[in-house]
Amino acid sequence: VDLTGFERLLTARGQAVLAEATEADLTESGLLATATKLRERYPAELVAAALTQARLRLRARDKFGADADRMYFTPAGLEQSTRASVAAYRARRFAAHGPVLELGCGIGADLLARVRAGAGGTAVDRDPLTAAVARANLAAFGLSERASVRVADAAGQDPRGYAAVFADPGRRTARGRVFDPKAYEPPLDTVLALAGQAPAACVKVAPGIPHEAVPAAAEAEWISVRGEVKEAALWLGELSGPVRRRATLIGAGDEPVTLTPGTSEPPPVRGWGRYLYEPDGAVIRAGLVADVAAATGGGLIDEQIAYVTADAHVPTPFAAAYAIEDVRPFSLKDLRAELRRREVGTLTLKKRGSAVDLDRLRRDLRQHHRGGAELTVVLTRVGRAPVMVLAHPIKPAKPAKPATR
């Protein structure tokens, strides 16, 4: 869909066909019949634009929930957009820091969240279709008065007059996924230079950003959603907090939890205890494994590997906990025999610091376990010695429900 096609979709007629398309059969097998029927009453191009949009909305539900049904997308814009839970969490810090200048707003997921949190302003995107989509998204929620979207290059923007700058540079370009911050679009250096001209700023970067690339004055926050690390945010100026590193975990709907450095001591290295803790990826990226060790009274089994072992089970949202049944040198033969002996039907394999190919191991073990028992096998190493830990996950306790009167 090009810009003209998208603008037609926003007319009364376009909205009528979009409404019908949204209600129609959009499955692979039903799509052709839906298109044929709609084309009896609407121009083919408009039908194509509406069907594309309706299908993108379905795909977007995972990121945006019910809002997806009112939003507009481009395929690349949806792909690059920040999921609503993360955008809303990040937007909270902006509440007292408007107006905001956003450099490269995409379809406007972060923009919507900030405006909803009370920080309006101006957003630019160099791609005219993407900018039009962001504008339509503001309008869809009645927020057009509170922010504006312009087609412009980020590099030419003047942050003066804004309380804060926000940027989420593209990391998937025409050449594929880029890792070098200089290859971000706009490049990280350009964005940081502009951010430095505002009293406050936040720049979203890849979670793999090396700690050396984080500006010394920034607070870096790694964010994971349901255990998957999604991004890092660099908070600058008045938006940066009292800590330099932070790991924030966003769950299925609970309030996010955040971990900041509490200890400057490196974690002790020790022998196996009764429990194994697997820190969340955001905790590892933020370099806060020592804090999980301190919180659980445990230590590392190998100083290179981010597994914590301890004698006690101390529930923490920052690590998955396992009760250890046995730790043995890694041996395929021994593992097969053990699975048979224990009548393991459901096997979970995990690894860290192990060279074993888990997919291959899973195939190699398939014939060797049947039964009703469950087992988690964690492959790791202590020094150079490969080991297998036989364990059972400890389900996190549900937070106590507030008393009702």
Q: Which residues bind ligand SAM (CB under 6 A)?
A: 80-82, 104-110, 124-127, 130, 153-155, 168-170, 185-186
3-state secondary structure of 283: helix
Paired with 388 in beta bridges are 328, 379
Shortest Cβ 128–ligand SAM spacing (Å): 10
Residue with smaller CB distance to ligand SAM, 114 or 369: 114
Shortest Cβ 313–ligand SAM spacing (Å): 39
Q: Are 47 and 32 within 8 A, CB to CB?
A: no
Residue with smaller CB distance to ligand SAM, 110 or 221: 110
CA distance 366 to 42: 54
Shortest Cβ 155–ligand SAM spacing (Å): 6
Residue with smaller CB distance to ligand SAM, 24 or 191: 191
DSSP letter string, 73-93: --HHHHHHSPPHHHHHHHHHH
- Tokens of residue 17, six digits: 């066909």
Residue with smaller CB distance to ligand SAM, 206 or 389: 206
Residue with smaller CB distance to ligand SAM, 111 or 378: 111
Q: Which amino acid is at 299?
A: G
Shortest Cβ 257–ligand SAM spacing (Å): 23
Q: Are 284 and 318 within 8 A, CB to CB?
A: no
Shortest Cβ 130–ligand SAM spacing (Å): 5
Shortest Cβ 102–ligand SAM spacing (Å): 8
DSSP letter string, 186-252: S-HHHHHHHHTTSSEEEEEE-TT--GGGS-TTPEEEEEEETTEEEEEEEEEETT--S-SEEEEEE-S
Question: Among candidates 218, 247, 248, 223, which has minimal Cα distance to 235?
Answer: 218
Residue with smaller CB distance to ligand SAM, 8 or 150: 150
